[in-house]
Protein backbone atom coordinates (compact mmCIF):
# COMPACT_ATOMS: atom_id res chain seq x y z
CA UNK A 1 0.00 0.00 0.00
CA UNK A 2 1.41 3.40 -0.97
CA UNK A 3 1.95 6.00 1.70
CA UNK A 4 -0.65 8.52 0.42
CA UNK A 5 -3.26 5.81 -0.02
CA UNK A 6 -2.41 4.47 3.42
CA UNK A 7 -2.78 7.82 5.23
CA UNK A 8 -5.95 8.78 3.30
CA UNK A 9 -7.60 5.65 4.52
CA UNK A 10 -7.71 6.67 8.18
CA UNK A 11 -11.36 5.99 8.91
CA UNK A 12 -11.29 2.58 7.37
CA UNK A 13 -12.42 -0.20 9.68
CA UNK A 14 -11.08 -3.66 8.94
CA UNK A 15 -13.85 -5.56 10.67
CA UNK A 16 -16.62 -3.70 8.81
CA UNK A 17 -14.86 -4.01 5.49
CA UNK A 18 -14.19 -7.68 6.04
CA UNK A 19 -10.45 -7.34 5.46
CA UNK A 20 -7.50 -8.53 7.54
CA UNK A 21 -6.38 -5.93 10.09
CA UNK A 22 -2.97 -4.29 9.61
CA UNK A 23 -1.18 -5.02 12.83
CA UNK A 24 2.09 -3.48 14.05
CA UNK A 25 4.10 -5.24 16.73
CA UNK A 26 6.78 -3.29 18.59
CA UNK A 27 9.68 -5.55 19.56
CA UNK A 28 10.97 -8.89 18.30
CA UNK A 29 11.66 -10.61 21.60
CA UNK A 30 9.91 -13.70 22.91
CA UNK A 31 6.51 -11.95 23.12
CA UNK A 32 6.66 -10.31 19.69
CA UNK A 33 7.78 -13.51 17.99
CA UNK A 34 5.11 -15.54 19.79
CA UNK A 35 2.50 -12.97 18.72
CA UNK A 36 3.45 -13.23 15.03
CA UNK A 37 3.13 -17.01 15.08
CA UNK A 38 -0.15 -17.15 17.00
CA UNK A 39 -1.78 -14.29 15.07
CA UNK A 40 -0.93 -15.87 11.72
CA UNK A 41 -2.32 -19.19 12.91
CA UNK A 42 -5.55 -17.41 13.87
CA UNK A 43 -5.80 -15.89 10.37
CA UNK A 44 -4.32 -12.44 11.09
CA UNK A 45 -1.48 -12.29 8.63
CA UNK A 46 -0.92 -8.58 7.84
CA UNK A 47 1.82 -8.12 10.40
CA UNK A 48 4.84 -5.82 10.67
CA UNK A 49 7.28 -6.11 13.54
CA UNK A 50 9.44 -3.08 14.34
CA UNK A 51 12.64 -4.06 16.14
CA UNK A 52 14.93 -1.32 17.42
CA UNK A 53 18.10 -3.44 17.30
CA UNK A 54 20.09 -5.10 14.55
CA UNK A 55 18.89 -8.58 15.55
CA UNK A 56 15.93 -10.26 17.24
CA UNK A 57 15.96 -11.86 20.71
CA UNK A 58 14.96 -9.16 23.21
CA UNK A 59 16.39 -9.67 26.66
CA UNK A 60 18.43 -12.70 25.46
CA UNK A 61 20.09 -10.49 22.86
CA UNK A 62 20.69 -7.54 25.19
CA UNK A 63 22.10 -9.63 28.02
CA UNK A 64 25.24 -11.59 27.28
CA UNK A 65 27.07 -11.31 30.57
CA UNK A 66 29.16 -14.26 31.80
CA UNK A 67 27.04 -16.85 33.62
CA UNK A 68 23.77 -15.65 32.01
CA UNK A 69 21.14 -18.33 32.49
CA UNK A 70 17.44 -18.71 33.08
CA UNK A 71 16.20 -19.91 36.46
CA UNK A 72 12.97 -21.27 34.96
CA UNK A 73 13.31 -24.92 33.83
CA UNK A 74 14.11 -25.16 30.10
CA UNK A 75 11.21 -27.44 29.13
CA UNK A 76 8.80 -24.88 30.53
CA UNK A 77 10.75 -21.88 29.24
CA UNK A 78 9.89 -22.88 25.66
CA UNK A 79 6.99 -22.08 23.36
CA UNK A 80 4.18 -24.61 23.83
CA UNK A 81 4.09 -25.14 20.04
CA UNK A 82 7.84 -25.73 19.78
CA UNK A 83 9.01 -28.11 22.50
CA UNK A 84 12.74 -28.74 22.47
CA UNK A 85 14.07 -32.13 23.49
CA UNK A 86 17.61 -30.90 22.86
CA UNK A 87 17.97 -28.50 25.76
CA UNK A 88 21.42 -29.24 27.14
CA UNK A 89 20.64 -28.28 30.76
CA UNK A 90 17.70 -28.23 33.14
CA UNK A 91 18.21 -24.46 33.37
CA UNK A 92 19.33 -23.07 30.04
CA UNK A 93 22.24 -20.73 29.51
CA UNK A 94 21.67 -17.48 27.60
CA UNK A 95 23.35 -18.37 24.26
CA UNK A 96 21.30 -21.57 23.95
CA UNK A 97 18.06 -19.64 24.53
CA UNK A 98 19.04 -17.10 21.88
CA UNK A 99 19.75 -19.98 19.47
CA UNK A 100 16.31 -21.44 20.24
CA UNK A 101 14.67 -18.05 19.53
CA UNK A 102 16.50 -17.83 16.18
CA UNK A 103 15.42 -21.37 15.35
CA UNK A 104 11.75 -20.60 16.09
CA UNK A 105 11.88 -17.36 14.09
CA UNK A 106 13.35 -19.17 11.11
CA UNK A 107 11.10 -22.23 11.26
CA UNK A 108 7.92 -20.13 11.45
CA UNK A 109 9.08 -17.53 8.91
CA UNK A 110 8.88 -14.70 11.45
CA UNK A 111 11.75 -12.78 9.87
CA UNK A 112 9.67 -11.91 6.79
CA UNK A 113 7.59 -9.65 9.07
CA UNK A 114 10.49 -8.02 10.95
CA UNK A 115 12.01 -4.61 10.23
CA UNK A 116 15.36 -4.49 12.05
CA UNK A 117 17.11 -1.26 13.17
CA UNK A 118 13.68 0.38 13.32
CA UNK A 119 13.00 2.00 16.71
CA UNK A 120 9.42 3.21 16.94
CA UNK A 121 9.48 6.87 17.91
CA UNK A 122 5.81 7.83 17.93
CA UNK A 123 2.38 6.24 17.96
CA UNK A 124 -0.70 8.42 17.51
CA UNK A 125 -4.29 7.28 17.71
CA UNK A 126 -6.25 8.86 14.88
CA UNK A 127 -9.37 6.78 15.53
CA UNK A 128 -9.97 4.01 14.83
CA UNK A 129 -6.46 3.59 13.40
CA UNK A 130 -2.95 4.29 14.60
CA UNK A 131 -0.18 6.23 12.90
CA UNK A 132 3.24 4.75 13.58
CA UNK A 133 6.52 6.56 13.08
CA UNK A 134 9.74 4.57 13.14
CA UNK A 135 13.30 5.60 12.38
CA UNK A 136 14.16 4.93 8.75
CA UNK A 137 10.51 4.50 7.66
CA UNK A 138 7.72 6.66 6.31
CA UNK A 139 4.80 7.00 8.75
CA UNK A 140 2.44 4.05 8.45
CA UNK A 141 -1.18 3.47 9.41
CA UNK A 142 -2.23 0.38 11.36
CA UNK A 143 -5.53 -0.93 12.67
CA UNK A 144 -3.97 -2.37 15.76
CA UNK A 145 -0.70 -1.86 17.66
CA UNK A 146 0.83 -4.44 19.99
CA UNK A 147 3.63 -3.32 22.27
CA UNK A 148 5.89 -6.31 22.96
CA UNK A 149 8.82 -4.38 24.39
CA UNK A 150 9.22 -6.26 27.66
CA UNK A 151 9.71 -4.74 31.08
CA UNK A 152 13.37 -5.11 32.12
CA UNK A 153 15.23 -3.47 29.28
CA UNK A 154 16.09 0.07 30.38
CA UNK A 155 19.20 -0.15 32.61
CA UNK A 156 19.07 1.68 35.94
CA UNK A 157 22.36 3.43 36.69
CA UNK A 158 23.11 4.09 40.35
CA UNK A 159 22.99 7.65 41.57
CA UNK A 160 26.51 7.62 43.02
CA UNK A 161 28.80 10.65 42.99
CA UNK A 162 31.69 10.46 40.54
CA UNK A 163 30.31 7.58 38.46
CA UNK A 164 31.85 9.05 35.32
CA UNK A 165 35.21 9.62 36.97
CA UNK A 166 36.25 5.96 37.01
CA UNK A 167 39.22 5.47 34.70
CA UNK A 168 38.93 1.71 34.25
CA UNK A 169 36.30 -0.15 32.21
CA UNK A 170 32.78 0.34 33.53
CA UNK A 171 29.48 -0.99 32.17
CA UNK A 172 25.98 -2.03 33.17
CA UNK A 173 25.30 -5.78 33.10
CA UNK A 174 22.89 -5.42 30.18
CA UNK A 175 25.57 -3.55 28.18
CA UNK A 176 28.35 -6.05 28.92
CA UNK A 177 31.59 -5.15 27.14
CA UNK A 178 32.90 -8.45 25.73
CA UNK A 179 36.14 -6.77 24.67
CA UNK A 180 37.24 -6.30 28.30
CA UNK A 181 39.37 -9.23 29.47
CA UNK A 182 38.75 -10.13 33.12
CA UNK A 183 41.55 -12.64 33.71
CA UNK A 184 43.71 -11.55 36.60
CA UNK A 185 41.94 -8.16 36.90
CA UNK A 186 40.59 -6.42 40.01
CA UNK A 187 36.87 -6.48 39.35
CA UNK A 188 34.13 -4.78 41.37
CA UNK A 189 30.40 -5.32 41.04
CA UNK A 190 27.73 -3.10 42.56
CA UNK A 191 24.51 -4.92 43.44
CA UNK A 192 23.69 -8.43 44.62
CA UNK A 193 20.47 -9.31 42.74
CA UNK A 194 19.85 -12.29 40.43
CA UNK A 195 22.10 -10.89 37.70
CA UNK A 196 25.03 -10.18 40.01
CA UNK A 197 24.79 -13.63 41.63
CA UNK A 198 25.11 -15.32 38.22
CA UNK A 199 28.07 -13.12 37.22
CA UNK A 200 29.93 -13.47 40.53
CA UNK A 201 29.32 -17.24 40.45
CA UNK A 202 30.87 -17.41 36.99
CA UNK A 203 33.79 -14.95 36.93
CA UNK A 204 35.28 -15.08 40.43
CA UNK A 205 37.38 -18.12 39.51
CA UNK A 206 39.15 -16.26 36.72
CA UNK A 207 39.58 -12.69 38.01
CA UNK A 208 42.48 -11.52 40.15
CA UNK A 209 40.28 -10.04 42.87
CA UNK A 210 36.50 -9.79 43.13
CA UNK A 211 34.86 -7.03 45.22
CA UNK A 212 31.11 -7.41 45.62
CA UNK A 213 29.38 -4.26 46.90
CA UNK A 214 26.26 -5.29 48.77
CA UNK A 215 23.70 -2.74 49.91
CA UNK A 216 21.14 -5.32 51.05
CA UNK A 217 21.67 -9.09 51.35
CA UNK A 218 19.32 -11.13 49.16
CA UNK A 219 17.89 -14.58 49.83
CA UNK A 220 19.52 -17.18 47.62
CA UNK A 221 17.91 -20.57 46.96
CA UNK A 222 19.73 -23.56 45.48
CA UNK A 223 19.43 -24.06 41.71
CA UNK A 224 19.47 -27.81 40.96
CA UNK A 225 21.30 -27.53 37.61
CA UNK A 226 21.68 -30.71 35.58
CA UNK A 227 23.21 -31.52 32.22
CA UNK A 228 21.14 -33.71 29.87
CA UNK A 229 22.90 -36.49 27.99
CA UNK A 230 22.15 -37.92 24.51
CA UNK A 231 20.20 -40.94 25.83
CA UNK A 232 17.82 -38.72 27.78
CA UNK A 233 17.28 -36.46 24.75
CA UNK A 234 16.46 -39.50 22.57
CA UNK A 235 13.97 -40.78 25.15
CA UNK A 236 12.30 -37.39 25.24
CA UNK A 237 12.14 -37.15 21.46
CA UNK A 238 10.65 -40.65 21.28
CA UNK A 239 8.01 -40.03 23.94
CA UNK A 240 6.51 -36.54 23.45
CA UNK A 241 4.03 -37.29 26.25
CA UNK A 242 6.95 -37.40 28.66
CA UNK A 243 7.93 -33.95 27.48
CA UNK A 244 4.41 -32.65 28.12
CA UNK A 245 4.45 -34.28 31.55
CA UNK A 246 7.67 -32.42 32.44
CA UNK A 247 6.18 -29.08 31.43
CA UNK A 248 3.13 -29.86 33.56
CA UNK A 249 5.36 -31.02 36.44
CA UNK A 250 7.51 -27.86 36.56
CA UNK A 251 4.48 -25.62 36.30
CA UNK A 252 2.74 -27.53 39.06
CA UNK A 253 5.84 -27.40 41.25
CA UNK A 254 6.00 -23.62 40.90
CA UNK A 255 2.28 -23.20 41.54
CA UNK A 256 2.24 -25.33 44.67
CA UNK A 257 5.39 -23.96 46.30
CA UNK A 258 6.91 -20.64 45.31
CA UNK A 259 3.70 -19.06 43.98
CA UNK A 260 1.93 -19.81 47.26
CA UNK A 261 4.83 -18.46 49.34
CA UNK A 262 4.73 -15.03 47.70
CA UNK A 263 1.03 -14.53 48.32
CA UNK A 264 1.14 -15.20 52.02
CA UNK A 265 1.33 -18.97 52.57
CA UNK A 266 3.48 -18.97 55.73
CA UNK A 267 4.39 -22.66 55.59
CA UNK A 268 5.67 -22.51 51.99
CA UNK A 269 7.49 -19.25 52.66
CA UNK A 270 9.28 -20.77 55.66
CA UNK A 271 10.25 -23.88 53.71
CA UNK A 272 11.92 -21.72 51.07
CA UNK A 273 13.66 -19.59 53.68
CA UNK A 274 14.89 -22.74 55.40
CA UNK A 275 16.30 -24.12 52.13
CA UNK A 276 18.16 -20.83 51.62
CA UNK A 277 19.55 -20.89 55.16
CA UNK A 278 20.70 -24.49 54.76
CA UNK A 279 22.59 -23.67 51.57
CA UNK A 280 24.13 -20.63 53.24
CA UNK A 281 25.23 -22.77 56.19
CA UNK A 282 26.68 -25.49 53.95
CA UNK A 283 28.49 -23.35 51.44
CA UNK A 284 29.77 -20.39 53.47
CA UNK A 285 32.08 -21.69 56.21
CA UNK A 286 32.97 -18.26 57.66
CA UNK A 287 30.34 -17.26 60.28
CA UNK A 288 31.13 -13.55 59.91
CA UNK A 289 30.56 -13.69 56.15
CA UNK A 290 27.43 -15.77 56.71
CA UNK A 291 26.04 -13.12 59.02
CA UNK A 292 26.68 -10.40 56.42
CA UNK A 293 24.90 -12.47 53.79
CA UNK A 294 21.85 -13.19 55.92
CA UNK A 295 18.87 -10.94 55.11
CA UNK A 296 16.79 -9.47 57.93
CA UNK A 297 13.56 -9.67 55.90
CA UNK A 298 11.53 -12.62 54.71
CA UNK A 299 12.55 -14.80 51.77
CA UNK A 300 10.45 -14.09 48.61
CA UNK A 301 9.95 -10.45 49.71
CA UNK A 302 12.48 -9.34 47.11
CA UNK A 303 12.95 -11.40 43.97
CA UNK A 304 14.28 -14.75 45.21
CA UNK A 305 17.64 -15.60 43.65
CA UNK A 306 18.10 -19.16 42.38
CA UNK A 307 21.84 -19.75 42.17
CA UNK A 308 24.13 -22.40 43.63
CA UNK A 309 27.41 -20.76 42.58
CA UNK A 310 27.22 -17.39 44.33
CA UNK A 311 27.99 -18.50 47.91
CA UNK A 312 30.98 -20.70 46.99
CA UNK A 313 32.33 -17.84 44.84
CA UNK A 314 31.99 -15.15 47.50
CA UNK A 315 33.68 -17.50 50.01
CA UNK A 316 36.67 -17.87 47.72
CA UNK A 317 40.05 -16.42 48.82
CA UNK A 318 40.12 -13.80 46.04
CA UNK A 319 36.62 -12.47 46.83
CA UNK A 320 35.42 -9.85 49.28
CA UNK A 321 31.89 -8.91 50.24
CA UNK A 322 31.90 -5.17 50.91
CA UNK A 323 28.99 -4.09 53.08
CA UNK A 324 30.12 -0.56 53.94
CA UNK A 325 28.04 1.91 51.93
CA UNK A 326 29.51 3.46 48.80
CA UNK A 327 30.23 7.16 49.14
CA UNK A 328 31.80 7.86 45.73
CA UNK A 329 33.34 6.46 42.63
CA UNK A 330 36.84 7.84 42.09
CA UNK A 331 39.24 7.39 39.16
CA UNK A 332 40.97 4.45 40.90
CA UNK A 333 37.90 2.66 42.22
CA UNK A 334 35.12 2.73 44.79
CA UNK A 335 35.30 4.69 48.06
CA UNK A 336 33.21 3.35 50.93
CA UNK A 337 31.92 5.15 54.01
CA UNK A 338 34.64 3.64 56.23
CA UNK A 339 37.08 5.72 54.16
CA UNK A 340 38.51 2.72 52.32
CA UNK A 341 39.43 2.88 48.64
CA UNK A 342 38.70 -0.34 46.73
CA UNK A 343 41.04 -0.12 43.76
CA UNK A 344 39.61 -1.66 40.60
CA UNK A 345 40.37 -2.25 36.92
CA UNK A 346 36.79 -3.09 35.98
CA UNK A 347 33.53 -1.91 37.56
CA UNK A 348 30.29 -3.73 36.76
CA UNK A 349 26.95 -2.08 37.54
CA UNK A 350 24.50 -4.86 38.41
CA UNK A 351 22.00 -2.30 39.61
CA UNK A 352 18.88 -3.52 37.87
CA UNK A 353 16.40 -1.85 35.57
CA UNK A 354 14.03 1.09 35.33
CA UNK A 355 10.80 -0.83 35.64
CA UNK A 356 8.28 1.87 34.81
CA UNK A 357 9.13 2.48 31.17
CA UNK A 358 7.85 -0.44 29.05
CA UNK A 359 7.34 1.11 25.57
CA UNK A 360 8.53 4.55 26.73
CA UNK A 361 10.36 6.74 25.70
CA UNK A 362 8.33 6.15 22.51
CA UNK A 363 5.71 8.91 22.44
CA UNK A 364 2.30 7.25 22.55
CA UNK A 365 -0.68 9.56 22.04
CA UNK A 366 -4.12 8.08 22.73
CA UNK A 367 -7.57 9.62 22.43
CA UNK A 368 -7.70 13.41 22.82
CA UNK A 369 -3.92 13.51 22.39
CA UNK A 370 -3.48 11.94 25.82
CA UNK A 371 0.22 11.05 26.15
CA UNK A 372 1.04 7.73 27.79
CA UNK A 373 3.98 8.97 29.88
CA UNK A 374 1.75 11.71 31.33
CA UNK A 375 -1.08 9.27 31.96
CA UNK A 376 1.29 6.90 33.78
CA UNK A 377 3.33 9.58 35.54
CA UNK A 378 6.03 7.13 36.62
CA UNK A 379 3.51 4.55 37.86
CA UNK A 380 2.42 2.45 34.87
CA UNK A 381 -1.04 0.94 34.98
CA UNK A 382 -2.90 -1.41 32.69
CA UNK A 383 -5.94 -3.59 32.69
CA UNK A 384 -4.89 -7.25 32.93
CA UNK A 385 -1.38 -6.02 32.00
CA UNK A 386 -2.57 -5.39 28.44
CA UNK A 387 -4.88 -2.44 27.83
CA UNK A 388 -5.30 1.15 28.97
CA UNK A 389 -8.43 3.34 28.89
CA UNK A 390 -8.07 6.10 26.31
CA UNK A 391 -5.82 3.93 24.10
CA UNK A 392 -8.18 1.90 21.90
CA UNK A 393 -6.77 -0.83 19.66
CA UNK A 394 -3.47 -0.66 21.58
CA UNK A 395 -2.32 -3.75 23.46
CA UNK A 396 0.70 -4.61 25.54
CA UNK A 397 2.21 -8.03 26.13
CA UNK A 398 3.89 -8.25 29.52
CA UNK A 399 2.72 -4.73 30.33
CA UNK A 400 2.35 -3.33 33.88
CA UNK A 401 1.67 -6.12 36.43
CA UNK A 402 2.54 -8.61 33.66
CA UNK A 403 5.02 -10.87 35.49
CA UNK A 404 3.24 -13.63 37.38
CA UNK A 405 5.55 -14.81 40.18
CA UNK A 406 8.54 -16.65 38.76
CA UNK A 407 6.42 -18.26 36.07
CA UNK A 408 7.78 -18.86 32.60
CA UNK A 409 7.41 -15.58 30.75
CA UNK A 410 6.64 -17.57 27.61
CA UNK A 411 3.70 -19.23 29.30
CA UNK A 412 2.38 -15.83 30.44
CA UNK A 413 2.76 -14.17 27.07
CA UNK A 414 1.16 -17.07 25.19
CA UNK A 415 -1.90 -16.74 27.41
CA UNK A 416 -2.04 -12.99 26.85
CA UNK A 417 -1.76 -13.44 23.08
CA UNK A 418 -4.62 -15.97 23.07
CA UNK A 419 -6.72 -13.50 25.10
CA UNK A 420 -5.96 -10.71 22.63
CA UNK A 421 -6.93 -12.94 19.71
CA UNK A 422 -10.30 -13.57 21.37
CA UNK A 423 -10.78 -9.78 21.30
CA UNK A 424 -9.86 -9.54 17.62
CA UNK A 425 -12.26 -12.37 16.82
CA UNK A 426 -15.00 -10.56 18.73
CA UNK A 427 -14.32 -7.36 16.78
CA UNK A 428 -14.57 -9.35 13.59
CA UNK A 429 -17.94 -10.91 14.44
CA UNK A 430 -19.37 -7.64 15.78
CA UNK A 431 -17.82 -5.60 12.96
CA UNK A 432 -16.35 -3.28 15.58
CA UNK A 433 -13.92 -0.52 14.63
CA UNK A 434 -12.31 -0.30 18.03
CA UNK A 435 -11.99 -2.03 21.38
CA UNK A 436 -11.03 -0.29 24.60
CA UNK A 437 -11.11 -1.21 28.27
CA UNK A 438 -13.83 0.62 30.22
CA UNK A 439 -12.35 3.08 32.75
CA UNK A 440 -14.49 1.62 35.57
CA UNK A 441 -13.22 -1.93 34.89
CA UNK A 442 -9.63 -0.66 34.82
CA UNK A 443 -10.01 1.35 38.05
CA UNK A 444 -11.77 -1.43 39.87
CA UNK A 445 -9.14 -4.06 38.99
CA UNK A 446 -6.29 -1.73 39.94
CA UNK A 447 -7.95 -0.98 43.28
CA UNK A 448 -8.31 -4.71 43.85
CA UNK A 449 -4.62 -5.19 43.04
CA UNK A 450 -3.52 -2.49 45.48
CA UNK A 451 -5.60 -4.22 48.14
CA UNK A 452 -4.36 -7.72 47.26
CA UNK A 453 -0.70 -6.75 47.37
CA UNK A 454 -0.97 -5.90 51.06
CA UNK A 455 -1.00 -9.55 52.09
CA UNK A 456 1.82 -10.65 49.76
CA UNK A 457 5.30 -11.25 51.13
CA UNK A 458 6.48 -8.35 48.95
CA UNK A 459 4.52 -6.01 51.25
CA UNK A 460 4.67 -7.86 54.57
CA UNK A 461 8.22 -9.24 54.31
CA UNK A 462 10.04 -6.14 55.56
CA UNK A 463 11.94 -5.16 52.40
CA UNK A 464 11.78 -2.71 49.53
CA UNK A 465 12.05 -3.78 45.91
CA UNK A 466 10.86 -3.04 42.39
CA UNK A 467 7.87 -5.29 43.05
CA UNK A 468 5.73 -2.43 44.45
CA UNK A 469 5.62 1.01 42.84
CA UNK A 470 5.57 4.44 44.45
CA UNK A 471 1.75 4.42 44.65
CA UNK A 472 1.41 0.99 46.22
CA UNK A 473 0.39 -0.82 43.02
CA UNK A 474 2.34 -4.03 42.45
CA UNK A 475 4.54 -4.42 39.39
CA UNK A 476 3.65 -8.10 39.45
CA UNK A 477 0.41 -10.03 39.42
CA UNK A 478 -0.58 -10.15 43.11
CA UNK A 479 -2.70 -13.31 43.11
CA UNK A 480 -2.05 -17.01 42.67
CA UNK A 481 -1.17 -17.86 39.04
CA UNK A 482 -4.12 -20.27 38.78
CA UNK A 483 -6.36 -17.18 38.87
CA UNK A 484 -4.31 -15.63 36.04
CA UNK A 485 -4.70 -18.71 33.86
CA UNK A 486 -8.44 -18.75 34.51
CA UNK A 487 -8.83 -15.04 33.70
CA UNK A 488 -7.00 -15.50 30.43
CA UNK A 489 -9.18 -18.43 29.31
CA UNK A 490 -12.29 -16.43 28.58
CA UNK A 491 -12.43 -12.67 27.99
CA UNK A 492 -15.10 -10.95 30.05
CA UNK A 493 -16.38 -8.60 27.36
CA UNK A 494 -18.39 -6.58 29.88
CA UNK A 495 -15.00 -5.00 30.75
CA UNK A 496 -14.54 -3.64 27.23
CA UNK A 497 -16.23 -1.06 25.04
CA UNK A 498 -16.58 -2.09 21.41
CA UNK A 499 -17.37 0.77 19.05
CA UNK A 500 -18.64 0.31 15.53
Residue 67 interacting with ligand NAP (CB under 6 A): no
For ligand NAP (CB under 6 A), the number of binding residues is: 23
**39 or 221: whose CB is closer to ligand NAP?**
221
Q: Cβ of residue 19: shortest distance to ligand NAP, in angstroms?
A: 40
Residue 359 interacting with ligand NAP (CB under 6 A): no
Q: Which of 405, 387, 367, 396 is CA-nearest to residue 445?
A: 387
Among positions 450-469, residues that touch ligand NAP (CB under 6 A) are 466
Residue pair 171/62 in contact (Cβ under 8 Å)? The answer is no
Q: How far apart are CA 74 and CA 86, in angstroms?
A: 10
**162 or 390: whose CB is closer to ligand NAP?**
162
Q: Which of 215, 221, 182, 216 is CA-nearest to residue 200?
A: 182
Among positions 393-422, residues that touch ligand NAP (CB under 6 A) are none
In DSSP notation, 204-252 reads TTTBSEEEEE-SS---EE-----BPPHHHHHHHHH-HHHHHHHHHHHHH
Q: How far apart are CA 78 and CA 113, in angstroms?
A: 21
Residue 152 interacting with ligand NAP (CB under 6 A): yes
Q: Cβ of residue 283: shortest distance to ligand NAP, in angstroms?
A: 19
In the list 6, 192, 387, 413, the residue contacting ligand NAP (rule: CB under 6 A) is 192
Q: How many helices (H) and strands (E) does the chain have?
A: 17, 21
Residue 170 interacting with ligand NAP (CB under 6 A): no
**193 or 366: whose CB is closer to ligand NAP?**
193
In the list 31, 78, 195, 262, the residue contacting ligand NAP (rule: CB under 6 A) is 195
**134 or 463: whose CB is closer to ligand NAP?**
463
**114 or 200: whose CB is closer to ligand NAP?**
200
In DSSP notation, 15-71 reads HHHT-PPPEEEE--SHHHHHHHHHHHHTT---EEEE-SSSSS-THHHH---TT-B-S
In the list 19, 103, 215, 447, the residue contacting ligand NAP (rule: CB under 6 A) is 215
Buried b (16+ CB within 10 A) or exposed e, 185-218: bbbbbbbbbbbbbbbbbbbbeebebbbbbbeebb
Residue pair 358/199 in contact (Cβ under 8 Å)? The answer is no
Residue 191 interacting with ligand NAP (CB under 6 A): yes
Residue 53 interacting with ligand NAP (CB under 6 A): no
Residue 160 interacting with ligand NAP (CB under 6 A): yes
In the list 123, 145, 220, 350, the residue contacting ligand NAP (rule: CB under 6 A) is 350
In the list 303, 381, 384, 480, the residue contacting ligand NAP (rule: CB under 6 A) is 303
Q: Cβ of residue 215: shortest distance to ligand NAP, in angstroms?
A: 4
| Angle between helix 481-489 and 409-430 (nearest 10) | 20
Q: How far apart are CA 498 and CA 500, in angstroms?
A: 7
Q: Cβ of residue 15: shortest distance to ligand NAP, in angstroms?
A: 38
Note the residues at the interface with ligand NAP (CB under 6 A).
70-72, 152, 158-160, 190-196, 215-216, 303, 326, 350-353, 466
Amino acid sequence: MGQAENIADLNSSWAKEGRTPRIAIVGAGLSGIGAVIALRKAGYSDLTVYEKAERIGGTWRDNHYPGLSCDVPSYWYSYSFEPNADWSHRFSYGPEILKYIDHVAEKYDVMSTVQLNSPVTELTYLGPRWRLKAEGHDPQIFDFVISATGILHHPAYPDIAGLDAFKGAMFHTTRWDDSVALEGKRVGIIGTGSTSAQIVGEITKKVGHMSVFQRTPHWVAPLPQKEYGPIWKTILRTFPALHLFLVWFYKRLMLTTFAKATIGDVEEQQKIQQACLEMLEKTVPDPELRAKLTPDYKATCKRLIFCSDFYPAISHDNAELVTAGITAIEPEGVRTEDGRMHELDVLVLATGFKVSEFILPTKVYGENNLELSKQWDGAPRAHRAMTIPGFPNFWMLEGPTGPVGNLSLISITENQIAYMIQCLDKMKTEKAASIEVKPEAFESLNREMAEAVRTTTWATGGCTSWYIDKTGIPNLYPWHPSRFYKEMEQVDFSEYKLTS
